[in-house]
Homo-oligomer: A and B are copies of this chain.
Amino acid sequence: MSQTVFGKIARERVSDRVAAEILRLITSGDLPPGEKLPAERQLAEMMKVSRVSIRAALQRLQGQGFVSAVQGGGTRVVSATGDTEPALTELVRIDRSNLHDLAEIRSNLEVWAARRAAENARPKHLEEMAASLEAMASPERDAHERALDDVAFHLAVARASGSAVYLHILTVIRDILTEMLDYHRYELFGTPEDDAAVLAQHRAIFDAIEAQDASGAAEAMDRHLSWVLEHYRTPEGAAAPASRSDAAE
């Protein structure tokens, strides 16, 4: 039991050697992101292995987020660091109803964050929120800019909460939501009345946070998100928050 002298044998698959070699070229910078690597048939011949092994290696590298293959197009390097958070994204991609859950969970977290923000907000955070409110109130902002202001406000609240963990989780969720919504080409629209309502709700949240009224802030945020979810609910229901509600805020 105490014979630690014996490590496990190297035992390496051919496809592992291939993957290691390609990965080495990627991380060393020889194959920068965007670069198209040789065709599978060429790689197979160059490395003197079967195409099966080449494909096995590339499949794993795809799973790790280093490369991306398009039928007929080729295989390209997409990242030198490898993305790892495709799990949640994949989950949502599989079943659209998960998108609704995710939006709901996010709402929950935002309410929690509002409470925390009321307790912890510092002057610079309040300034940040005020700035985005002012920008959003400006009449010459178009719909797109307004959406960005919207995001900025919610981000300011997140920062004011003083929780790095929350900021991280929220960012992950937001990325997924925007990616999925962009993918489905959702447009962000709102009537002037809607914009006014959103602005008023934001102001209520801000006032409560500024007054360090934790419960009030939580309630205001809850009202706001409920309004958004309700207001932009789509007929089919499942993909309800398919609107600015999630893409923007």
Contact = CB atoms under 8 A, between A and B. Distances in A.
26 contacts: A13-B71, A20-B90, A23-B94, A24-B94, A27-B87, A59-B60, A60-B62, A63-B63, A63-B64, A64-B86, A64-B90, A65-B84, A66-B87, A82-B84, A82-B87, A83-B84, A84-B86, A85-B85, A87-B168, A88-B169, A91-B168, A92-B165, A98-B163, A101-B164, A105-B165, A108-B109
A81 interface: yes
A108 to B, nearest CB: 5
Contacts of A92: 165
Interface string A55-96: 110011111111000010000000001111111101111110
Contact of A112 (B65, B83, B95, B105): B105
A166 interface: yes
A236 to B, nearest CB: 16
Interface residues of A, number: 44
A102 interface: yes
Interface in A143-169: 163-166, 168-169
What are the nearest 4 A-B pairs in CB distance?
A: A63-B63, A59-B59, A60-B63, A82-B87
A164 B84 contact: no
A222 interface: no
Contacts of A83: 84, 87
Nearest to A176: B165
Contacts of A40: none
